[in-house]
Amino acid sequence: MSAHQRGTELDLSWISKIQVNQPAVLRRAEQIQARRPVKKEWQAAWLLKAVTFIDLTTLSGDDTSSNIQRLCYKAKYPIREDLLKALNMHDKGITTAAVCVYPARVCDAVKALKAAGCDIPVASVATGFPAGQTHLKTRLEEIRLAVEDGASEIDVVINRTLVLTGQWEALYDEIRQFRKACGEAHLKTILATGELGTLTNVYKASMIAMMAGSDFIKTSTGKETVNATFPVAIVMLRAIRDFFWKTGNKVGFKPAGGIRSAKDSLAWLSLIKEELGDEWLKPELFRIGASTLLVDIERQIYHHVTGRYAAYHDLPMS
């Protein structure tokens, strides 16, 4: 990943007069979803590209070192070798972008990836994920411990209360402290947009998170009732674009939660391409947080290569 995004001073005049035009955003979201997906060779190529943006994630209460090990193996070998050979892509080093786990499982992931001889980064959720309702001191310590254990990316979750009550200075200060606690690790800030009430709040929270030095802004924890949606994404992407125009700083975007089908992943790639351009279509600036998406992508590639759909046992998850 590139150097950190340093952020800017807090400037509330940027966001004080903002009002998001909801009907226009919803129209744009419908347009994206009505688009016909690319076909055949083009589709296979885009699906392989989508694999390289996935933060392969497991955030379950029953995570063990052995399922983390399997997840890391799958991150290194996301698509069956014979399928890649058929597409002449077996020597292109296709892996997922990162592996994302709870702080207590970072050591397991670092060890498994090292044993597999690959340098895929380990991302860890932190700061009282998913609710973000623990004491600030505990949340900061959680970041430091995950970094100490070898996480090179930290997905923090904001305290939604600060957004819902309009405490923008407090939100900025808190994310600033997260940034500092990350040290050299990259900071991905989860806005939990399904709990922010309005699209205007989503825009404001996005802007504050970027001013405070987030390297990425992320839609959701995946644990809310509403996760990554296109209307929310459009608002966040426009905020990223505005921030880039004003500061020259590029901030990454990560939708997460509910992205399960290959078709969905193609719609997300197309949205990024149209809203931010090709330069954002790289793992340094775009990720998809997902646990089951890879299964469907591999299934579609299997179908493209063989002309039939795989039986469940043909493509074990990990």
Let me know if residue 145 belongs to a domain.
yes
Q: Count the neighbouring beta carbons within 10 Å of the beta carbon of residue 89.
A: 16
Let me know if residue 106 belongs to a domain.
yes
Residue 35 has pLDDT above 60, yes or no: yes
Residue found by looking up tokens 């949606």 in the block: 229
Residue 2 has pLDDT above 70, yes or no: no
Q: What is the mean pLDDT of residues 264-279?
A: 95
What average pLDDT does the structure give for the chain? 94
| Among candidate residues 241, 170, 225, the one with its CA nearest the CA of residue 193 | 225
Segment 80-108, tens digit of pLDDT: 999 999 999 999 999 999 999 999 999 99
Q: CA 258, CA 228: separation in Å to the nearest integer?
A: 7
Q: What is the mean pLDDT of residues 24-48?
A: 88
Residue 52 has pLDDT above 60, yes or no: yes
Q: CA 233, CA 255: separation in Å to the nearest integer?
A: 7
171 alpha-carbon distance from chain centroid: 21
Catalytic-residue membership of 218: yes
Q: What is the pLDDT of residue 187?
A: 98
Amino acid occupying residue 28: R
CATH for 146: 3.20.20.70
Let me know if residue 2 belongs to a domain.
no
**pTM higher than 0.85 for the full model?**
yes
Helix-helix angle 230-247:199-211, to 10 degrees: 40
Let me know if residue 27 belongs to a domain.
yes
> Choosing from 74, 188, 204, 218, which is the catalytic residue?
218
Let me know if residue 176 belongs to a domain.
yes
183: containing domain: 12-314
The domain total for the chain is 1
Catalytic-residue membership of 254: yes
Q: What is the mean pLDDT of residues 177-181?
A: 98
Let me know if residue 5 belongs to a domain.
no
Q: What is the pLDDT of residue 40?
A: 76
Phi-psi label, residue 68: left if phi above 0, alpha if psi -120 to 50, beta otherwise? alpha
Confidence label for 34 from pLDDT (cuts 50, 70 and 90):
confident
Segment 131-174, tens digit of pLDDT: 999 999 999 999 999 999 999 999 999 999 999 999 999 999 99
Q: What is the pLDDT of residue 1?
A: 60
> Choosing from 92, 254, 273, 282, which is the catalytic residue?
254
Q: What is the pLDDT of residue 136?
A: 96
Confidence label for 17 from pLDDT (cuts 50, 70 and 90):
confident
Q: CA 46, CA 200: separation in Å to the nearest integer?
A: 32
Q: CA 272, CA 164: separation in Å to the nearest integer?
A: 28
Let me know if residue 33 belongs to a domain.
yes
